[in-house]
A and B are shown apart, each in its own frame.
Chain A
Amino acid sequence: MSAHHKVEIPDEQLRLGSGVSKLWIVFLLIGVVALGAGYFMGQGSDETREQFFRSYLQNFSYFLSLAVGCLFFVLIMRLCRAGWSVSLRRMAEIFSMTLIPLALLMLLIIPGIHDLYEWSHADHVEGDKILQGKAPWLNEGFFKFRLVFYGLLWAGMAWFFARGSIRQDQSKDHKITNRLEGLAAPAMFIFALSVTMAAFDLLMSLYPHWYSTIWGVYFFAGSFLGAVSMMVLLFHFLQRTGVLQNVVTAEHFQDLGKLMFAFVVFWAYIGFSQFMLIWYGNIPEETMWYKARMIGFGEGGWADVSALLLVGHFIFPFFFLMSRHLKRRGITLIFGAAWLLVMHWIDMHWMVMPQLHPAGPSLGLMDVLCFLGVGGIFLGFGLWQLGRQALIPVGDPRLHESLSFENA
């Protein structure tokens, strides 16, 4: 670490260019229009309603996972008093703030509860002892309350940590760093529990009879992988517009690539642990979840998607990201990050959709509209916020470490 030379960066390197800073309106517009179109098209029949809310839940969970992953990035870097990642942290802070619009978008699940969740149908619960037993947790009122609660909690946490960092831009007060680092520890605690519970509620309770204690960790593993991949793409995109030159360097990209590699492995480890234990135990009430995903191998069934995830979400990126040179070269890392974001989307699709289309995946207009809808609002809000601040935490006392950081 050679932090002895002063680093000076011109201000225009740290601000979004004027062309890009208007882009958010376009994204936001696309998002609102696509989502509105999807919603109204969905009102046509029971079938289209179900399709809309499924697609919506899947894409909402996808972008939620990216935002939650960014929040984790902020918290873990604070917690570890990390120096190397300071110049990357602002991006994570801004995109964790998308939890504010996502908290609102979460409310759109509420009108779809009956289309999505079996446990919300009184007639189903009546004849089902197990669902009756779960009713104290899985009932509409408490579920809605929890959705609002998660939304407020995460939006609040993201806003709090981002605001502190942004204030420091002006005040340069190093005590802010101390305070946020101290608060990151309890925040991490709350984060872990709330993300786990939300993953149980949103995704696991789609199969109300099924349960897996590792589910929250699985959701988290994919989230952080997705968030880091997204950050790689965003930084490369911004650098193409001419900013952040010599601020975010090949050293940072290599480290983000390492994190991607690590979480590819971690995701596989968690996924394998869940699969192997259920496969080995061979109890029908557990295996049903995987059974739905292991039919139609070679015939366009969900087994093909499972195989694709094994190869595309683990084996290929594992070997691809192993190389130091591929991580340091822009174009190859962009490819890897984009690839993983697609795989993460397929993973979400694979979690949510087999119930609606048991025979195999069938992508349609609703999937596109919901992706554009949530994605547009997500990106639009993120870019809007990004244009309002410096692109790196200029007041952070550890910034010089990040700027002069080199991989040994």
Chain B
Amino acid sequence: MAVMSAEPGRQSLDNTHDDPRERAPLVIGHDLASLTDKICAIVERPGFTTWWKICFGISAGVTGILGAMVLYLITTGVGVWGVNAPAGWGFAIINFVFWVGIGHAGTLISAILFLFRQKWRTGINRFAEAMTIFAVICAGLFPGIHIGRVWLAYWLFPIPNQMEMWPNFRSPLLWDVFAVSTYFTVSLVFWYMGMIPDLATVRDRATTKLRQWIYGALALGWRGSTRAWVHYERAYLLLAALATPLVLSVHSVVSFDFAVSIVPGWHTTIFPPYFVAGAIFSGFAMVVTLAVPVRAIFNLEDVITIRHLENMNKILLATGSMVGYAYSVEFFIAWYSGNFYESFAFTNRAFGPYWWAYFAMFTCNAFVPHVFWMKSWRTSPVRMWIISIFVNIGMWFERFVIVITSLSRDYLASSWGHYTPTWVDWMTFVGSFGLFMTLFLLFLRFIPAVAIAEVKSVMPEGDPHHYEHAHGHEGGA
């Protein structure tokens, strides 16, 4: 006879054990009420803490630089940047792809991991989604200001205009407009819908009329009715099912910007899935970069546990390997193709004038994450934070390598050139981090940073069966 039964659970602060006989707890030492208290306390604290004010001050200052740079660009012209023939795409496109890529992790966590029933996603999905939206805002900025005459940006959309012209739908750049704006809209809807029950929680706990009004309006009158939960959960599932191919499509479309052309090094069929893997890789690195300090500052170690971080690092390892796979296949086929220009493009990347960028990219993306084979690195917040920074840097350089090496050395040696970014390029890039951090800090201050209702539904206390037994523990990671 085959007899199977669940073993009684075990609780400790370290939940990274790998005993296959039981699932590790995802929330340590909380019941439903204490969890709500803990998360809500962050947004209910009166006034602003000192560290918040300092961070916000710095971020706002850096955002100011961004504003000044954009103003300078618009009043003077795109000549203030380093872009010129042959490298007509410089920092603007690099930063655009970099930020869009970062945005992908939020949707991965909220949608794809949801479809895969990865319950640990509930601890981190709220702020990963927030990060997505802010990253897409930063991304959208760059093509917006790159077009030169920003007041004509509406030409990008199929809006009737005085010249009776329509956009060219055979251009991948126009696909980008649709992909990124759809992505932003859908991510925002998904994020907001996920937030409704928690906004209602903050509303019900409000001690002042103003808070009650604001959060009450945002919560749309949500009262946790089961008849509403049925539609709500179905909507959540449907949005996840829609967001999953969407997130794949967005970076695929971004890769089309390059791959539909016949520029050596750009025109290769693996670009769509390779870009998607890279995007998720960079996005997860950014989630780790943000999660580690947030968790330490707000003492969220019992909600965003070491196991959450370990899982994220495993995903970093997996996606990093996918990126490494794509690098290898690209390199192999560049040789295998027998195409002179293809193989030149790749030797040029590795040994040409931008070898340092290639070196940075390859080291940070294809080698450094492999330290996560070691559990001690996967579970140490300080170490993983450092690695995540490396990955962020590496993924920025990946876009630099793709954009710049191919443009500066294409078919005709007579039209080769060298791209050098100007100080305006650099300051605009730095400024975009200011915008990102400013939005993120506002989010931390005013919106529950962890999806309380979702975490409750994966806690043992959330399962009615829990109350049938004295010792029933069902987590699941």
Contact = CB atoms under 8 A, between A and B. Distances in A.
Touching in the complex, A and B, CB below 8 A? Answer: yes
Interface of A: 1-4, 6-11, 14, 80-81, 83-84, 129-131, 133-134, 137, 174, 177-178, 181, 185, 189, 192-193, 196, 200, 209, 211-217, 265, 269-270, 273-274, 276-278, 280-283, 285, 394, 396-400, 403, 408
Is the contact region of chain A dominated by helix, strand, or loop, or is it mixed?
Answer: helix
A398 B270 contact: no
Contacts of B4: 6-7, 399-400, 403
Which 10 A-B pairs have CB atoms at the shortest separation, nearest pair first?
A213-B270, A400-B4, A130-B338, A214-B269, A280-B260, A177-B20, A273-B272, A397-B20, A133-B338, A397-B21
B321 interface: yes
Interface string B462-477: 0101001100101011
A137 B336 CA distance: 8
A9 B4 CA distance: 9
Contacts of B260: 276-277, 280-281
A87 B204 CA distance: 45
B271 interface: yes
A3 B20 contact: no
B5 A213 contact: no
A388 B207 CA distance: 68
B274 to A, nearest CB: 8
7 contacts: A1-B463, A6-B5, A130-B338, A269-B252, A276-B260, A277-B272, A399-B2
B267 A181 contact: no
B268 interface: yes
Interface string B323-347: 0011011100100111100000000
Contacts of A273: 252, 269, 271-273
Contacts of B167: none
B221 interface: no
Interface string B418-454: 0000000000000000000000000000000000000
Given A174-B20, A211-B333, A265-B245, A278 B1 contact: no
B20 A134 contact: no
B261 interface: yes
Contacts of B474: 1, 3
B259 interface: yes
Given A83-B23, A265-B245, A400-B4, 11 more contacts: A3-B474, A4-B469, A6-B3, A137-B336, A185-B317, A213-B329, A214-B269, A216-B329, A269-B245, A269-B252, A273-B272
B5 A400 contact: yes
A210 to B, nearest CB: 9
B124 interface: no
Given A81-B20, A277-B271, A400 B338 contact: no
B325 A192 contact: yes
B250 to A, nearest CB: 13
B164 interface: no
A196 B19 CA distance: 34
B464 to A, nearest CB: 9
A213 B333 contact: yes
B269 to A, nearest CB: 4
B262 interface: yes
A193 B328 contact: yes
Nearest to B5: A6
Q: Which of B252, B256, B337, B469 has the largest count of A CB atoms less than 10 A from its CB?
A: B337
Interface string B5-26: 1100000000000111101000
B248 interface: yes
A124 B187 CA distance: 55
Contacts of A394: 2
Nearest to B457: A408
A276 B463 CA distance: 48
B472 A217 contact: no
Contacts of A185: 317, 373
A8 B269 contact: no
Contacts of A211: 333, 336-337
A214 B262 contact: no
A123 to B, nearest CB: 18
B1 A193 contact: no
A193 B329 CA distance: 9
B43 to A, nearest CB: 29
A277 B256 CA distance: 8
Contacts of A216: 329
A1 B261 contact: no
B337 A3 contact: no
B39 to A, nearest CB: 23
A216 B269 CA distance: 11
Contact of B269 (A83, A133, A277): A277
A308 B401 CA distance: 40
A144 B269 CA distance: 28
A212 B272 CA distance: 13
A194 to B, nearest CB: 12
Nearest to A280: B260
Given A134-B338, A213-B329, A11 B20 contact: no
Nearest to A402: B4
B7 to A, nearest CB: 9
Contact of B465 (A2, A134, A274): A2
B170 to A, nearest CB: 8
A80 B325 CA distance: 20
A3 B317 CA distance: 31
Contacts of A282: 262
Nearest to A266: B248
B150 to A, nearest CB: 29
B268 A178 contact: no
Contacts of A276: 256, 260
B329 A129 contact: no
Given A10-B1, A281-B262, A217 B270 contact: yes
Contacts of A10: 1
A73 to B, nearest CB: 15
Interface in B254-296: 256, 259-262, 267-273
Contacts of B6: 3-4, 400
Contacts of B252: 269, 273
A129 B333 contact: no
B338 A129 contact: yes
Contacts of B267: 277, 281, 283
B87 to A, nearest CB: 21
Contact of A1 (B21, B270, B476): B476
A4 B465 contact: yes
Most-contacted residue by chain B among A10, A133, A209 (CB, 10 A): A133
Nearest to A130: B338
A397 B260 CA distance: 49
Which of A81, A276, A399 is packed against the most chain B CB atoms within 10 Å?
A: A276
Nearest to B263: A281
Contacts of A269: 245, 248, 252, 272
